[in-house]
Structure formats: structure tokens, C-alpha cells
């Protein structure tokens, strides 16, 4: 089991953020598994708990919208990373780190985008790199 049970982002426009993440997370096999809109939606993979949440400020009084939250989704293949990246860009995200194999991190094939609320989701896969 991972260290975190779930991550939650407080967003001003839940409908807009959910429309973005519905499509982006579908590329990596995740979907809405909790839907209590307009308060919150939770995402996960089939058979898992919702580990990624979007919440409106009305859901819990102690939540406040923020920007520049950074979180990472680990996937199995570079193709999934590319699908995540291309879908995010097609929906208006900004590329912060191109989806590719990065020389400074051996075996790391990843990307970071800036979503519509200014958060920075990362998607990566670890790949075998032949030794020189």
C-alpha cells in the first residue's frame, strides 16, 4: 500500500475541473468512482478506492482553492504517459515538462503539465534503459 490514501484538490469550478480530469485520467485507466457533484468527485482505477479527489470550497469549510499543487500518477508504459500528455494539452493544459525519456533521471519517462487551475499533475513510467 502506498503512503497516501488520497489526494484532494480544492477547485473553484468543479464542473470544469472534472471535465478535464475525466478525459485525462481515462487515458491511464482511471475514472470517476465517487460523484457527489457539485461538492466533490473522486477518481480511481477499477477495484480501487478513490485516491484522487476534486472538491469545491463548499464541500468542507476548511478547504481553500490553491494553485501549484503537484502530484504524480505512476503508470506502466511510456504510451500511457504520452496519451496523458497529449490529452491534457488538447484540453488546454500547458506543457511544463515534455513527455519523454529524461537523461537526468535514468529510466524516467515522464511529463508534467499545468492544468486549468494551475496545478501540476505529473505522469510517469519507469523503463529499463540498456547499460552502455
Q: In sequence order, what DSSP letters do the residues of 54-114 get, joined into one string?
A: EE-TTT-TT----S--EEEEE-S-HHHHHHHHHHHHHTT-EEEEEEEE-TTSTTEEEEEEE
Confidence of residue 119 (pLDDT cuts 50, 70, 90): very high
Confidence of residue 1 (pLDDT cuts 50, 70, 90): low
Q: Could you give the percent of the chain with pLDDT greater than 70?
A: 98
Q: What is the mean pLDDT of the chain?
A: 94
pTM of the model: 0.92
Amino acid at each position: 500500500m502506498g503512503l497516501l490514501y488520497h489526494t484532494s484538490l480544492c477547485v473553484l469550478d468543479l464542473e470544469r475541473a472534472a471535465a478535464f480530469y475525466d478525459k485525462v485520467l481515462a487515458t491511464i485507466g482511471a475514472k470517476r468512482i465517487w460523484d457527489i457533484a457539485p461538492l466533490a468527485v473522486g477518481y480511481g482505477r477499477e477495484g480501487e478506492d478513490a485516491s484522487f479527489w476534486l472538491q469545491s470550497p463548499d464541500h468542507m469549510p476548511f478547504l481553500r482553492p490553491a494553485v501549484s499543487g503537484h502530484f504524480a500518477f505512476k503508470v506502466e508504459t511510456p504510451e500511457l504517459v504520452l496519451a496523458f500528455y497529449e490529452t491534457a494539452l488538447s484540453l488546454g493544459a500547458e506543457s511544463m515538462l515534455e513527455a519523454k525519456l529524461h537523461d537526468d533521471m535514468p529510466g524516467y519517462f515522464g511529463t508534467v503539465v499545468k492544468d486549468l487551475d494551475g496545478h501540476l499533475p505529473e505522469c510517469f513510467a519507469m523503463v529499463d534503459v540498456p547499460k552502455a
